[in-house]
Amino acid sequence: MNNMQFTRRILVVVVVLALLMTVLCSNLYTLQYTNGAEYAAQSVTRIAETQTVAASRGLILDRNGTVLVSNKSSYQVSLNTSQMGKDNEERCANLLALIQISREEGVEWADTLPISKEAPFTFTTENPYYTTGTDEEGNETKTLTRLGSLAVKMKWIEDPTQEPEETETAEPEEPSLWEKFLIAVGLREEPQEEEPEEPYRLPTAEELLGMMCRDFGVKGQGAVDEKAAKAAGEEVPVLNIGDMSSTDARAVAGVLFELYYRSRVSNWPLYVYAQDVSTDFITRVKEEGIQGVEIETVSVRQYNTTYAAHLLGRVASMDASEAEYYLGLDAGYTLNDKVGKEGVESAFESYLRGVPGVRTVERNEEGKIVSSTWLTDPETGETQEPEPGGNVFLTIDIELQKMVEDTLAGGLGNLKSDEVEGAACVVLDVDSGDILAAASYPTFSLETYAEDFAENSTDPLEPLYNRAFMEIYPPGSTFKMITSIAGLEEGIITPTSEINTLGIYTYWPDWPAMCWYYRQYGGHHGYINVTEAIEVSCNYFFFDVGRRLGIEVLDEYASRFGLGQKTGVELPESTGHIAGPEYSKSIGMTWYEGNILSAAIGQENTMVTPIQLANYVATLVNGGTRYSTHLLKSVKSSDFSQVEYVYEPQVLSTIDIKEENLTAVKEGMKRVVDTSSAFRNLPVEAGGKTGSAQISAATQSNAVFVAFAPYDDPQIAIAMVVEHGGSGGTLTTMVSQILTYYFTPEENQGQLPLENVLIP
């Protein structure tokens, strides 16, 4: 290689390097000088925040896969106060504009400030500043409320949970002799006693609202300059809000209360102003150009059926007690999360909720999101995107549930009693404890729960109350099968032995007890066995068997059948109780030996729930196996690809019942059905028992009816109770309709001419 070639190459390299350096310097100049200020501003104002993103809730389906509760997309509104204005005046103007749009569009916004919405302003809770309780040693404790915590932080009040410091009051000094002389000759005034300070009191609602408006900057154009007014000795109004109306000032203060509490007292998540807003509302907000308003798409519950409201429950924001529980689970809950409030939604919350995701969001100087990144789990290396909840399959058949609810609603109006207040009906699978239907009347709508709450919560018929699981009733004559089994198994009677029933039972002369037949017709049933006694529901027969058994043995059998015990259903249920010396003592009553007579026929103090009645009958007719009742059938993954849980029947207890004894009792129940015209056209043979329980002399008895079918191979058990419905025999038409529907082939069910049933 000659020198000329080498020189040329060196020259090329130098030129290339020079060009590269020129480009680099040019870019640096652009970054630092031309656009330096802009990029610097962006680097300062760009804000990163970590957000928890809720997962879609799982579906709720019936045993056949019919979707009962699903999800739909909705819009929610949150506020970013850093983008709502440079000063309090601009921020309050934005908030008031948002509130006015909300009013016009009918949007309810979140406001928990415990002050009435309009003047005259009063507190809406008994003690808005603190709550009282007791510690483990029984000492009184005081805990600040949210309002109390913010009021102390903002120095609006002294902490009412702290004992005030005691200050020593100095005794006035005795004047000297010289001072007394000067006072006596009028050269010095006699010292005046200092007026005692008025005891400290907490502000009234109006006074506190005035403090909030002052410190939150909630004022109109005509507001008084407080500093100037005080300097001039002028009085400043308690609500110094100028030309802003007191209602508007209270509304703005309510929103700012939520925002200030989160920023000053507790690091709560972003305040959600309103949920499930309409597109008209969103359009209005955007047209007005209200700053700091953020609208997000979220998932909310959608009800695909109007039935089973008492079973399904609802989803809503957690209250204070729920927050303490859920936040303590370390399961990613935040205070803005919605949780199951009642029913299945609450009972199976852990299956339905899913796993929330976590992301980092960056905002520009205008508060708009410029980037969003899912965080990565440091242990697994997987991105933390939300995982939808599992799909919960229930044991109920929604078509049967619908039929039962419609039957109650349509049939109660045709009962002879005009005192009917409510009713309940439960249908169980006798070999598993599956709840196939559980209806409570009257009922309510989950879709319009919030709108109807005020009316429903004050309705004397209590439509929100789940009578099927929670209400307790005397079982009446439906208890007589327990007395029968106890008498048969203990050898007091046999299937063929007879008792001469005389109408009035006079074993205790001072405690005569009458059979219903004697009271109504003046006669008696004569010699009858246990099957016949069940058929005619002879009180005399069961008086005698119960007396010979004794209350301890009778109570033992009642307990074995599950009366006075919870059935195991996953929803709240009442325990009830069975009559006896122990219960009488617990309520301050004396148990007398003769009380066994009414206990043996399901009266006295025995009180049971409809679901207990149904489970007792199921236990009887399946041969003595008492299963736990339940609503959960299975759980599948969000995409239905995997089965995550399958319920296995759980045996609570067993009773050894001899075949001949069970046959004798079942035959008596079959005769009850066979002698009723209401059951004449049943597609299968069935058994049942009527019951009526006197509540008071002034009202009709509760009507009770239990049934099972088919007779030879029982599959389902039914219990129905109607408050003040009279005799249990009046329920036979409704029960027969349910049995007919259940045992009719599916393709023909829609063609059944059911009487007294509302057609939707």
Helix 246-264 / helix 205-216 crossing angle, nearest 10 deg: 70
Mean pLDDT, rounded, for 20-31: 69
**Rounded CA separation 738/409 (Å):** 13
pLDDT on residue 5: 64
**Rounded CA separation 372/376 (Å):** 13
Domain residue extents for the chain: 390-469+613-640+670-760, 476-562+575-608
Helix 732-742 / helix 398-411 crossing angle, nearest 10 deg: 160
**Rounded CA separation 272/82 (Å):** 15
**Rounded CA separation 338/314 (Å):** 10
Q: Are 515 and 501 in contact (CB under 8 A)?
A: yes
Tell me how crowded residue 434 is: count the other CB atoms within 10 A of its CB. Answer: 23
Burial status of residue 608 (CB atoms within 10 A of its CB: 0-12, 13-18, 19 or more): buried
Token digits of residue 277: 């807003």
Q: Are 349 and 340 in contact (CB under 8 A)?
A: yes
Highest mean pLDDT among 179-188, 365-374, 428-437, 440-449: 428-437
pLDDT range class, residue 367, cuts 50, 70, 90: low
> What residues have CB less than 8 Å from 3, skipping those under 6 apart?
none
The tens digit of pLDDT for each residue in 27-80 reads 666 656 665 555 555 454 556 667 677 788 999 999 999 999 999 888 888 887
Residue 521: which H helix or E strand, with range?
helix 516-521
E strand map for 80-216? 130-134, 140-144
The tens digit of pLDDT for each residue in 234-275 reads 888 888 888 888 999 999 999 989 888 877 886 666 678 888
Name the DSSP class of 307.
S
Examine the pLDDT at 329 and tell me if it is beyond 90. no
Tell me how crowded residue 719 is: count the other CB atoms within 10 A of its CB. Answer: 31
pLDDT range class, residue 379, cuts 50, 70, 90: confident
HSE-up of residue 26 (Cα within 13 Å, Cβ side): 6
pLDDT on residue 169: 56
Virtual torsion, Cα 324, 325, 328, 334, nearest 10 deg: -70
Q: Above pLDDT 70, what percent of the chain? A: 85
Token digits of residue 641: 């690809």
The tens digit of pLDDT for each residue in 660-684 reads 999 999 999 999 999 988 898 899 9
Three-state DSSP class for 53?
Answer: strand
CA distances from 508 to 416, 548, 602, 654 (A): 36, 13, 20, 35
E strand map for 479-525? 499-501, 504-505, 513-514
pLDDT on residue 77: 87
Tell me how crowded residue 586 is: count the other CB atoms within 10 A of its CB. Answer: 11
Mean pLDDT, rounded, for 400-426: 83
Greater confidence (135 vs 305) lies with: 305
Tell me how crowded residue 390 is: count the other CB atoms within 10 A of its CB. Answer: 25
Query: What is the β-pairing status of strands 60-61 and 391-394?
Result: parallel
CATH topology assigned to domain 476-562+575-608: Beta-lactamase (3.40.710)
Which segment of 272-281, 435-444, 463-472, 637-646 scores lowest on mean pLDDT? 272-281
Greater confidence (216 vs 333) lies with: 216
pLDDT on residue 758: 36
Examine the pLDDT at 217 and tell me if it is beyond 80. yes
pLDDT on residue 289: 84
Examine the pLDDT at 303 and tell me if it is beyond 80. yes
pLDDT on residue 36: 58
Residue 256: which H helix or E strand, with range?
helix 246-264
Residue 400: which H helix or E strand, with range?
helix 398-411
- Match 């079942």 to its residue by tokens: 666
Query: Distance between the two ends of the chain, CA-based, in angstroms?
Result: 102
Report whether CATH 3.30.460.20 matches the domain 390-469+613-640+670-760: no
pLDDT on residue 752: 57
pLDDT on residue 602: 92
Token digits of residue 620: 């009887």
Q: Structure pTM?
A: 0.75
pLDDT range class, residue 742, cuts 50, 70, 90: very high
- Match 């799982």 to its residue by tokens: 58
Greater confidence (143 vs 716) lies with: 716
Examine the pLDDT at 616 and tell me if it is beyond 90. yes
pLDDT on residue 755: 47
pLDDT on residue 757: 41
The reply to whether domains 390-469+613-640+670-760 and 476-562+575-608 share a CATH topology is: no
Mean pLDDT, rounded, for 354-380: 72
Examine the pLDDT at 358 and tell me if it is beyond 90. no
pLDDT on residue 731: 87
Q: Are 482 and 616 in contact (CB under 8 A)?
A: yes
Which segment of 394-408, 502-516, 629-643 scores lowest on mean pLDDT? 502-516
pLDDT range class, residue 606, cuts 50, 70, 90: very high
> What residues have CB less than 8 Å from 266, skipping those under 6 apart?
146, 149
